[in-house]
Amino acid sequence: MLLSKSCIYGLRASLYLASHGNENYIPIRKMSDRLEISFHFLTKILQQLTAEGILESFKGPNGGVRLTKPGDQIPIMEIVLAIDGHYLLTECALGLPGCGIKKPCPLHDKWAETRDSIKEMFENTTLTELAKKGKEENLRLTEDGGFDLLFD
Amino acid sequence: MLLSKSCIYGLRASLYLASHGNENYIPIRKMSDRLEISFHFLTKILQQLTAEGILESFKGPNGGVRLTKPGDQIPIMEIVLAIDGHYLLTECALGLPGCGIKKPCPLHDKWAETRDSIKEMFENTTLTELAKKGKEENLRLTEDGGFDLLFD
DNA sequence: TTATTTTAAGACAAAAGAGTCTTATTAACT
DNA sequence: AGTTAATAAGACTCTTTTGTCTTAAAATAA
């Protein structure tokens, strides 16, 4: 898999948050219900994003999590980096450690090019952009549910 | 990871075979030694490639495995498909089953485009092409060894 | 025929990823 | 103060991937 399950869940939750603006904290329980993700698992993932400063959390009644910045300032690459690390940006296609210009593997040149196009895609796509598109066209965010399910 | 370890090992071994032409069978033990891959693990992987018709094997003394076709007729996509399956060509970036034009996720369009560039890269790169380049420039195929290590 | 060299097959073990559960801790409301 | 609603933290389990080991089968050569 390109992205780990944790990363995918983190992205889905981030899109949820971006679809709602970030004035209010949104409870993780609500998100896990709507997104059909295990509550405890999602909690752990969002704790990572909180630790990385992408989310901020608030305990107690009316608590939850929200984005620390407006979603149009958050490329999805930020979420990917926070959860899966930089492997996507640096990993050798043949799994060789430190594969680079100096000590390349035979696939290095072609793969570096392809990898850059992945990188650019993730860097040039913001949460808000996807959330907007998702809302307008009621696109999918769960196995059988669209963005409309995220709203009351 | 983009490719599984099994797939990476399968690719490295295939490049080994392609560097040697396919007149002779090459023992798996020799490949596993040179490529620094566990013999039994590599054996299992190459059995998959044999089952898929990419390799043919021969038991007993002077036995081993070899490519069934000239390496310039084998795009590395064949190896990837045989070991990791078609997930690379079809998987949704947000992990939604059956994500496609009909029921897309918000990332679908952009991801499909990026995914195609990965696909094309793997389809347009042959074993021989990489093996030739690897031999000529003595590129890396193990943690610290180049193509020269593959030869006696 | 017997010993040797090789792949084939499958049981087993270790490590990593994914998911669950329990117990704090914090904040709001009554 | 006490109850309730929420996140934080960490132990624990399940599953998949990765890797090891043993035995069988096939081919060669003495």
Decide if A96 and B142 are in contact by the 8 Å CB cutoff: yes
pTM of the model: 0.95
* Confidence bin at A95 (pLDDT 50/70/90): very high
Cβ atoms within 10 Å of B44's Cβ, excluding its own: 12
Query: Distance between CA atoms of B45 and B39, rounded to whole angstroms?
Result: 10
Q: Answer whether any strand C atom is within 7 A of the Cβ of A29.
A: no
Confidence of residue A152 (pLDDT cuts 50, 70, 90): confident
Residue A145 has phi, psi (to 5 degrees) of -125, 145
Q: What is the pLDDT of residue B3?
A: 97
Beta strands in A1-152 (DSSP E): 55-58, 64-67
Owner of token pair 């509550």: A39
- Residues A4-14 have a mean pLDDT of 98
Provide the b/e sequence for B56-94 (b: ≥16 CB within 10 Å).
Answer: eeeeeeeebbbbeeebeebbbbbbbbbbbeeebeebbbb
Cα(A43)–Cα(A47) distance, integer angstroms = 6
Residue B85 Cβ under 7 A from any strand D atom: no
> Are residues B143 and B36 in contact, defined by beta-carbon separation less than 8 angstroms?
yes
How much of chain B exceeds pLDDT 90, in percent? 91
Q: B94 vs A121: CB contact, 8 Å cut-off?
A: no
CB contact under 8 A, A107 and B91: no
Is 90 exceeded by the pLDDT of residue A57? yes
Section A113-142 average pLDDT: 97
pLDDT digit string (tens) for B110-152? 999 999 999 999 999 999 999 999 999 999 999 988 999 898 7
Nearest to A111 by CA among B117, B35, B86: B117
Whole-angstrom Cα distance, residue B105 to residue B103? Answer: 7
Closest nucleotide to the alpha carbon of A43, via C1': D7
Establish, for the pair of chains A and B, how many residue pairs have beta carbons separated by less than 8 Å. 96
- Decide if pLDDT at B55 tops 90: yes
Residue A8 contacts B, CB cutoff 8 Å = yes
Question: Does strand C come within 7 Å of the CB of B5?
Answer: no
pLDDT-above-70 percentage for chain A: 100
A96/B139 Cβ within 8 A = no
pLDDT at position B75: 98
Please tell me the predicted confidence (pLDDT) of residue A26: 98
Write out chain B residues lying below 8 Å of A77, CB-based.
Answer: none
In contact, B148 and B138? CB cutoff 8 Å: yes
